[in-house]
Structure 1
Amino acid sequence: MLEQEDFRPVTLADRAFFEHHYTLYPQTHSDNTFTNMVCWNQIAQYRYAHVNGNVILASTIAGVTRFRPPIGPRDPALMKDLIRFAMEIGDDTPIVLIDPQTVQWMKELDPSLTLIPDRNHFEYVYRASDLAELPGKNYLKIRSQINKFRKNCGHTVEPITAGNRQEVMEFLVKWCEWKGCENDFVLAHEKEAVFFAIEHFTELPLRGLLIRVNSQVSAISLFERLNEDTALVHFEKGLPDCEGIYKAINAETAALLAGEVTYINRESDLGVAGLREAKMRYHPHHMVEVWSLKR
């Protein structure tokens, strides 16, 4: 039976373990990635158990612990044990981020379970070529804004490397001052997460791009390969130096990735109305749907 002692913290030393396991069981949602877990550990306190060839993830935010379904071969006894264990120590939503196939399997195991879609954590997946080329009438306004940026803002694009990492850190300080990170709970933790990503850039499977405007770093993106056909953009930040800079870093990142993958996952909107509108404006190819178990 699962117990608290079966779970241990996710640390940088676990990278090889997760990379091997996810080679066997590729992921589609950003929350399960090793990079996400170690970068957001200061708020989510990620832990994992390795049981019968399955990985079970847990996170604890503000004292509330929630679990993810087992990642590995289907094991009915393990799933039932996880439901029992999660119900014992979790809140009203003990298991989260359940993919549709697992939802169907859970319903077959126990038809009495209450499983509901979690729209706020659906992730937006786009064709890489669409984000890079912005074709047709759907992207007319975005193309216009990028063209305006390119015309009015002298800029260059380069990869993030050890040589410019300190400048990226200085950029992030400016970004946080502009956004008022210290006065916003979510942004304060996002600041810690993106700083961790840059500080440990070479220890993580990350790549990155930056845009300089007048020689100063004014936008960055950090991304990685999620699975065989999809890349994942973890962070995208920009300063209000030039109108359209966010759209420009989006397009530059897509142009780089379009030759490598078919799709780009740009994560969820967390239920933020303005962010949802902005993500829909880019016309996602599909969503990574997730469900939650309710008491």
Structure 2
Amino acid sequence: MLEFTPITYKNAARVRACYRHCDYRVSDYSVGMKLMWKSYFRPEIAFACGCLIVKDTFGGKVRFDYPVPETEDADIDGALDEIEKYCMDKYIPLVFYAVPQEKLGALIARYRYCRTESTPVLDEYIYRADDMMSFSGKHYSGQRNHINKFYKLYPNAKFRTLEASDKPKLEKFFGKFTYSSQKNGRGADVELKRSRETLLRDISWGCAGCMELDGEIIALSLGEICGDTMIIHIEKALHEYEGVYPATVSAFAERFCGGVKYINREEDTGDPGLRRSKTQYRPKFMQRKYDVYVETELRAWDKIPTLKTERLTLAPLTDSEAKDYFKLCTDDERNKYWGYDYREDCENPEEDYFINVARDDFESKTAANFAIKYGRKFIGEVILYDFDYHGGAQIGVRISSGCDGRGFGKEAISAVMDAALYDLELSVVYAKCYLENVKSQRMLSACMQKTGEDAEFRYFERRI
């Protein structure tokens, strides 16, 4: 299974190497974005199938970037397989974040059920690098006029590469910028803080330059080349110097963008002034990005249905069954072949712990737990879980102490399999049991087809 490590300045070099050749043209796929906002999005990285896999946690929810190739023989589908396995193992929804429009079709084709969302204010402005260097043509006459006026007013202004020794000048710049900035609000304050922290730390991974006048920095920019695109992460200037913004944009492009085709100046976040400014530079196109929510077949059930057999009722767990369910889940003898030790997640659970977990799993559509009732008595559970996003799911059953040996397991599991295959329209239901669990092997053999075994398990399946 994937093992994730938080991204840091120490391990950023390998990540940077992946993004250096990434052709997604989205700022989220850059080491600068990950480092600047790591305390906000908490990005973590793993490597599998020749790909970089990034997971972040935002608002308590886990989501994944689209895999980024690291090697020439990278297997994107294999990396997606690994992400799916991780979500199945952790019982978390499968969500992809900031998927480039060019990759959206691959996910839609891969997943039977998924929904997509996009936020127009997060569309990113993509410009031709050549346009930003020269501002040639009549539609850029305004920018050229501003630049000419800037150099006429400030003939000593020069653009140069930022150096590590510039930290005192950067501190002074940010002191002035904070004082003079007309933007306000929590978002602007946070962005300014992140920009300052980033530029005062290690910027060797990027391209950093500044406009200097009489020994003082009056504008600066930090970008990063990803594929054929320069991603602009930071762009700041002191507003009192008329024309400094277009002059810095053009000088930065001339200095650092000779080998790229496009410049991504990121989104406008819905700010009218920022939108007006970015639009005036005439973007070549807007890069839309999507969040993709992959859904399981459980999307068809608003609630767990009630199923009837000759002797049993299978239904959602109720509060009155919490105590019996707790007893079943903590019965070590009954659960020695269950394949899961609850102590791994909660060493000393409260009585309502297990029923709440079951409800959370159904809410996230990662599992469905059916209470098995004989008359009014709770006698066990059937669980549908490990939905594989491709029409399959696992099934398991456990019967309370004193109620086994009467065929309840086979009767209950058969009813839930029918519902899974005919109501949820799954293609296949899988099950497995330990080799030494003879009773379960007999039960599963009576209602499913054996498909194989390995050193630990026997495997079964049922299809329509």
Partner in structure 2 of residue 122 of structure 1: 123
Counterparts of 1:86 and 1:127, CA distance in 2: 43
For 2:241, the equivalent position in structure 1 comes to: 242
Describe the superposition over 1:214-251 as per-residue Cα deviations: whole angstroms up to 9, x where unpaired.
44211111122222x32222111011221221121111
Q: Partner residue of 1:178? A: 180
Superposed, 1:133-282 pairs within 5 Å as 133-154=134-155, 155-179=157-181, 184-202=185-203, 204-227=204-227, 229-282=228-281
Letter in 2 for 1:265: N
CA separation of 1:180/1:64 partners in 2, compared to 1, >3 Å: closer, same or farther?
farther
Deviations 1:96-155 (CA, angstroms, capped at 9, x unpaired) = 211234311121122431123333332222111111111122112222222222222342
Q: Secondary structure at the match of 2:191?
A: helix
In the alignment, the residues of structure 1 paired with residue 133 and residue 62 of structure 2 have an alpha-carbon distance, to the nearest angstrom, of 39
C-alpha contact 1:122 1:268 (8 A) present in aligned 2: yes
- The match for 1:46 is 43
Which residues in structure 2 correspond to 1:92-103 (within 5 Å)?
94-103=95-104
Q: Which amino acid aligns with 2:36?
A: C
Higher helix share: 1
Q: Residues of 2 paired with 1:131 and 1:177: CA distance?
A: 29
The equivalent residue for 1:71 is 68
* CA distance in structure 2 between the aligned counterparts of 1:25 and 1:254, rounded to whole angstroms: 20
Q: Using the TM superposition, give the Cα deviation of residue 180 of structure 1 relative to its aligned residue in structure 2, in angstroms.
A: 7.3
Task: Please give the residue correspondences for 1:23-38 in structure 2 after superposition, counting only pairs within 5 Å.
Answer: 25-38=22-35
In structure 2, stretches of 5+ residues that fail to align are 70-74, 296-464
- Structure 2 distance, partners of 1:141, 1:23, is 33
State the secondary structure of the residue aligned to 1:247.
Answer: helix
Give distance in 2, aligned partners of 1:168 and 1:241: 17
Q: Judging changes above 3 Å, is the alpha-carbon distance between structure 1 residues 18 and 185 closer, same or farther for their aligned structure 2 residues?
A: same
AA of the residue aligned to 1:209: G
Aligned sequence identity (%): 24
TM-score where L is the length of structure 1: 0.84
Contact 1:43 1:61 in 2 (8 A): yes
Judged with a 3 Å threshold, the aligned counterparts in structure 2 of structure 1 residues 48 and 21 are, in CA distance, closer, same or farther, namely same
**Mapped partners of 2:292, 2:154: distance in 1:** 49
CA 1:80–1:89: 2 relative to 1, 3 Å: closer
Q: Structure 1 residue 288 and structure 2 residue 290: aligned?
A: no
Distance 1:96-1:211 versus aligned 2 partners, 3 A rule? same
Distance 2:67 2:260 in 1: 27
SS at the partner of 1:60? strand
Residue aligning to 1:15: 12
Work out which of the two has the higher radius of gyration on C-alpha atoms and give 1 or 2. 2
Residue pair 2:22, 2:226 contacting (<8 A) in 1 also: no
